[in-house]
Structure 1
Amino acid sequence: MTRVLVSGGTGYAGRFIVEHLLTKGYKVTVGGRAQPATGYFSTEVPFIPLVLDPDRDQIDVFDNIYYFVHAAFDHVPGRYRGGEGSDPAGFRRANLDGTMRLFEAARDAGVRRCIFLSSRAAYGPQPPGVPLGEHMYGKPNTLYGEVKLQAERGLLALCGHGFVTASLRPTGIYGEAGPGRHHKWTSLFETYLSGKGVLPRAGTEVHGNDVATAVRFMLEADALRINGETFNVSDVLTDTREILTILQRATDCPHPLPAEADKAAYNPMSCCKLEALGWRAGGIGLMHRTIEALADTTHFEMRPKSESLV
């Protein structure tokens, strides 16, 4: 049974990765700052303390570890872009310098593959409507995107025959959150269902299970096809109107929907490289089913139609 260490496994994206790998027969260990509560995962998962600190020698966490999936990220709760808060230097030190120290420790400990969960933010602004492809030069305009891009490049410099590396650039990840956690659309749903106005906004989305599947593909693909490569992980180009239309139908909510956003000007993400490995996303059908399921667990006090705010 192959042993995998998932840093940040108790996080929103990390939990999808852990659960998926468990179902596929991997022996998973979760690394993080705090041990998860009992019942957070579908089965008991070993935990090992792990921090993003460039001054800490943590090579021991990689004892008997075959693969390392790095999904940990230190940020202000609920924020990625802008997640540095009032401490950009500390944010960079943890998420870039601390990440590189872990990559180096993994290599030195004999880990065979290292997969990094990067972000769409590594691209930064690109010409309107142009699909984002991995060949494009990244020019991030946020510290979050800059740190992700630099960590990708640092990992690339470490790759070799005995240390296979790959970076994944997922877009907005949606799906059911872990016990006691909020899903990514909690605030959006509650705002709409309470009758408050919602601004139109376009975006690309991908289900957490599809991200987890992409991670597994990185672990199982021929090393020559992924070593030193970056892969987009995206699915649906949508907007707040489409998302809330599904919610509206599931809840019979009478409140008006936001205007349609300009999706033509938004940058979709090309996933041809990942699809060439056999990966397929769940599409709009999965998004519909997920929102309908989330609607059943969303708690709100719906205002009368006459009190709704446009």
Structure 2
Amino acid sequence: MMHVLVTGGSGYAGRFIVEALLAAGHSVATTGRTEPDAGFFSGPVDFIGADLEPANAKRTLFNGVDGFVHAAFHHVPGRFRGGEGDDPETFRRLNLDGSVALFAAAKQAGVSRAVFLSSRAVYGAQPPGVVLDETTAPQPDTLYGEVKLAAERAIAAMADDGFLPIALRATGIYGPAGPGRRHKWAELFATCEAREDIPPRVGTEVHGDDMAAAVRLMLEGDADGLRAGSSPDLVFNLSDILLDRHDLLAEYVRITGLGAPLPQRADASAFNAMDCTRLKRLGWTPRGRLDLGGLV
């Protein structure tokens, strides 16, 4: 079993990762500015007060750590794209320089496995209908995407025989939130209940448990197999279903019996879906369907 440090472990995505690691028998520590309430996690989790300031990324943070997962991200509440608000300098310093500093400290401390939670935003605008795989040339069109891509590249450059840092380009993580928290579609469901107009939308989604399973695969899988599977750039796409908001709300209405009107279907012909063949070849098996368990 491993001792794993997860930054941002009490965040929406981070909590799925912590719970998956606990379920697998690993011991976990998480960092953040505020310690979560007792009972937030299903088992014991050590808490270390920390932030993303590059100067605070100390080697001692990783004492006794075997694996590192970086899920923390500084942004305006509720926004990733555009999450810099009116302070792009701080956004870049914390999310790029801070991330790179943490991975450098992890490597210096002798951590062997590290996972960076990246984003499909690195691809930016692509020709209509083109399917995105890891060989697609990134062309980020937001500061969020630029920062994620720059961090990916800096972290990958640290790889050697003793240190394996891998980036997961995740998209649309959904699922139940932690105690006292709201899930990502709570406001959308409330709008549906109020029978207000909802604009059409289509997007790629992955359940948080499936995302966390991919993180575990990066930490536990054969190192040579992971290197070969992600060669040469040490990145994997992480997505599951292409979901139209019409279908999401149709399932919500079916379960709840609301009888609320549904939005029009979006035009998905130009959407850039993600190809996750590279990850699936390593044994990752997402559920392949919408799962509203714990959300309704």
Q: Counterparts in 2 of 1:295-306, with a 5 A limit?
A: 295=296
Matched, 1:235 2:236: no
Matched, 1:272 2:273: no
Q: Which residue of 2 aligns with 1:294?
A: 295
Secondary structure of 2:37 counterpart: coil
Report Cα offsets for 1:226-283 as digits up to 9, x if no partner: 2451001111101110000001111222221100011222111111110010001111
Normalised by the length of structure 1, the TM-score is 0.92
Which stretch of the first structure deviates more once superposed, 250-259 or 81-90?
A: 250-259
Q: Check conservation: 2:175, 2:292, Cα contact below 8 A.
A: no
Secondary structure of 2:39 counterpart: coil
Matches of 2:243 and 2:57, distance apart in 1? 43
Matches of 1:127 and 1:189, distance apart in 2? 32
Which stretch of the first structure deviates more once superposed, 8-17 or 57-66?
A: 57-66
Q: CA deviation at 1:56?
A: 2.0
Q: CA deviation at 1:224?
A: 2.0
Counterpart residue identity of residue 7, structure 1 = T
Q: Check conservation: 2:123, 2:140, Cα contact below 8 A.
A: yes
Counterpart residue identity of residue 72, structure 2 = A
Matches of 1:294 and 1:112, distance apart in 2? 36
Q: Which residue of 2 aligns with 1:308?
A: none
Q: Check conservation: 1:115, 1:165, Cα contact below 8 A.
A: yes
Counterpart residue identity of residue 262, structure 2 = L
Q: Which residue of 1 aligns with 2:59?
A: 59
Q: Check conservation: 1:50, 1:58, Cα contact below 8 A.
A: no
Matches of 2:199 and 2:263, distance apart in 1? 6
Q: Which residue of 2 aligns with 1:201?
A: 201
Matched, 1:257 2:262: yes
Normalised by the length of structure 2, the TM-score is 0.96
Matches of 1:136 and 1:113, distance apart in 2? 25
Q: Check conservation: 1:133, 1:269, Cα contact below 8 A.
A: yes
Q: Counterparts in 2 of 1:53-202, with a 5 A limit?
A: 53-202=53-202
Counterpart residue identity of residue 247, structure 1 = Y
Matched, 1:28 2:33: no
Counterpart residue identity of residue 156, structure 1 = A
Q: CA deviation at 1:34?
A: 1.2
The runs of 5 or more residues in structure 1 that have no matched partner are 296-310
Q: Check conservation: 1:165, 1:226, Cα contact below 8 A.
A: no
Q: Check conservation: 2:5, 2:29, Cα contact below 8 A.
A: yes
Which ranges of 4 or more aligned residues in structure 1 deviate by more than 6 Å? none
| Root mean square deviation of aligned Cα | 1.1
Matches of 1:289 and 1:154, distance apart in 2? 37
Q: CA deviation at 1:289?
A: 4.1
Matches of 1:272 and 1:288, distance apart in 2? 21
* Cα separation, partners in 2 of 1:256 and 1:36, compared to 1, 3 Å: same
Q: Check conservation: 2:207, 2:291, Cα contact below 8 A.
A: no
Matches of 1:81 and 1:57, distance apart in 2? 25
Q: Check conservation: 1:204, 1:234, Cα contact below 8 A.
A: yes
Counterpart residue identity of residue 59, structure 1 = R
Q: Which residue of 2 aligns with 1:12?
A: 12
Matches of 1:182 and 1:148, distance apart in 2? 25
Matches of 1:116 and 1:203, distance apart in 2? 22
Report Cα offsets for 1:109-152 as digits up to 9, x if no partner: 11111110000111111111111100111111111111101000
Matches of 1:263 and 1:133, distance apart in 2? 18
The runs of 5 or more residues in structure 2 that have no matched partner are 228-232
Matches of 2:220 and 2:291, distance apart in 1? 30
Q: Check conservation: 1:6, 1:14, Cα contact below 8 A.
A: yes
Report Cα offsets for 1:45-103 as digits up to 9, x if no partner: 11112210112242111001011011010111111111111101100000001111111
Matches of 1:98 and 1:289, distance apart in 2? 35
Matches of 1:150 and 1:276, distance apart in 2? 26
